Each structure stands twice: as C-alpha cells, then as structure tokens.
Structure 1
Amino acid sequence: MNARPLATLALLLALLAGCAAPGAVRHDGATHPAQAQGWVDTRLYFGLGPADQPQQGISEQAWREFLDREVTPRFPDGLSVLDVYGQWQGAQQPSPERLRSKLLVIDYPNTPANRAKVEAIRTAWKRRTGDQSVLRVTQPADVSF
C-alpha cells in the first residue's frame, strides 16, 4: 500500500478516536493530559451481510441507528468506524463466507465499567442481528493527546 493513504488513515483514526480521559480537553477548553496511563484500544468487528448481496443484511441506516442507540451513549467522547470486508470459512464449508463489515475502534481507560460497556455493545448487536459473535480485539494502548 502507498504510504500516503496509510498516513492519511492513521491521521483520521487519531482524530476520530479521541476518547477523553478525566481532565482531557473537550470543547469546553480544559487541557489534555500529556499522556494517559492504563488505556486500551478495542476493535470490534460487526458483520452486516453478504458482500455480494448488499440489499441483504443490515443497512447503513440500521447500522447508524445501532451506533446512535447502543455505542455513542456508552462512549460519547469519541470512536472511529471503518468500512471493512471480512471473510471466514467453516470447516464444513466449501468456500468462504464474504461479509460487508464495520470495524469499530474505541480507545478508553481500562476499567471494569468500560469493559462492561464493550460487552453490552457486543450483546446488543448479537441480540439485534442473531449473529453468534462480534470479534473483539483489545490491546494496551500508549495514548497521548
């Protein structure tokens, strides 16, 4: 991949993933801490439907409604959403299942309350769609503003 689109994507993610710690700058003029300790970066992968049949599955409007109802109230300080393509192949499947997908990226202080919010989002999606899983990848994050 060309370095310029990669750099642009990194900048976009940095701008959009601006979750705020206590005392971090919001639009009210407070200041950002130089560095936030104890944060994690969580990525959630949501399958929307067959990649080759965009009329099936979850619409963009339904995704945004889910985001507004289930995600934003839990993480109002910021998050990122990317359109991604995903696939998987079960042991008994002759070919992979290809999916339109959304990647939700949330950076936040690693607390039991925040981890419970992430699990509530995953549960809400599975309940809404009947999906068996929402892939979660969580890693420590060295966050600065």
Structure 2
Amino acid sequence: MSPRLLLPALLLTLVGCAAQPPASVHTTNPASSTLQGDATRPAQAKWLRTELYFSVGLIDGGPGSVSPARWREFLDKEVTSRFPDGFTAFDAYGQWRDHGAAQPERLATKVIVVLHENNATNNANIEAIRLAYKRITGDLSVLRLSQPADVSF
C-alpha cells in the first residue's frame, strides 16, 4: 500500500475502534439508560433471594476457625462454580445456642446472598453448597433463608 493511502486507512481504523462501545456493564451516559434492564434475565421468572449463613469459628478465633484463604477457596470452588453470574458475601456476627446450652456461642459469620430463578437446578446448587460446607468444616448446619424477590436489572 502506498504511504499516501496508509495514513487515511490507519485513521479510519482508529476511528472505528474508538466508536465501539466499551465491553462493560457501566455507562458513561446515564441518559442512554432505560428501565428495561437485562433482557437475558426474564422479568416473568419467579425469583428467590436466598441467604446462607456460615459459621467461620468462634468470635475470638481458636481451633476450627476457617481462615480467610480457606473461605475464599470455598467461594471459588463451591459457590462461584454454581452461581457464576454473581452473588454477594459479607461478614456478620452471629449467636447460636444449642438445646440445653447455658450460653450461646458467639460466632464469626459469613453470609452469602444469591438472587436466582426458582428452579430445581438452582435449588440443588444451594443444597450442594450447604452440604459441601458441612463436609469441609464438620458443622451441623448452614442456615438457609429463601424468600420471593421482585428482581429488576
């Protein structure tokens, strides 16, 4: 190609690249936003908000506590693999008093919130996460709270 044609071709290529929207979920132009949301997530679906409560050990630490690295490994292997579109995890304080115990256990707690369609596959995935954590830690329970959710993206 001649040098005289190379520069205009290069400029057209650069302008074409600049005109492409960024591959992101964020917008730089709020006026372009709509209330339609994400068309791949149907509004007519029956949605649930499921919260899972995990003890990561006594509030003061000690034997049997789940380390931050181990918790992250659990999230990566057991939760992200089953809900790759996303979830929220946060720290909490929990108390649990077993039947007949004089005092409650004060527990460092992790909570995972998953918004998901109410179907057999997602229900099985939630139960698999609970079972995996009980197997890993030897805990007797992982509290589950599921309730209908009105979801919009």
**Aligned equivalents of 1:36 and 1:56: distance in 2?**
44
User: Structure 1: which 4+ aligned runs deviate by more than 6 Å?
Assistant: none
Q: How many residues align?
A: 119
1:76 and 2:84 equivalent?
Answer: yes
Name which one, 1 or 2, has greater alpha-carbon Rg. 2
1:94-113 alignment runs, 5 A limit: 94-113=102-121
- Kept in 2: contact 1:36–1:144 (CA 8 A): no
1:40 and 2:48 equivalent?
Answer: yes
* TM-score, with length taken from structure 1: 0.75
Post-superposition CA distance 1:88-113 (Å, at most 9, x none): 11232121100001000000111100
Post-superposition CA distance 1:60-93 (Å, at most 9, x none): 1100000000000100001000100100112321
Q: In proportion to residue count, which structure has more strand?
A: 1
Shift of 1:27: 4.9
Shift of 1:54: 5.7
Q: What's 1:17 paired with?
A: none
Consecutive unaligned residues of structure 2, counting only runs of 5 or more, are: 1-22, 26-36
**Aligned equivalents of 2:49 and 2:100: distance in 1?**
34
Q: What SS does the corresponding residue of 2:112 show, helix, strand or coil?
A: strand
**Aligned equivalents of 2:130 and 2:151: distance in 1?**
24
Identity %: 48
**Aligned equivalents of 1:36 and 1:77: distance in 2?**
19
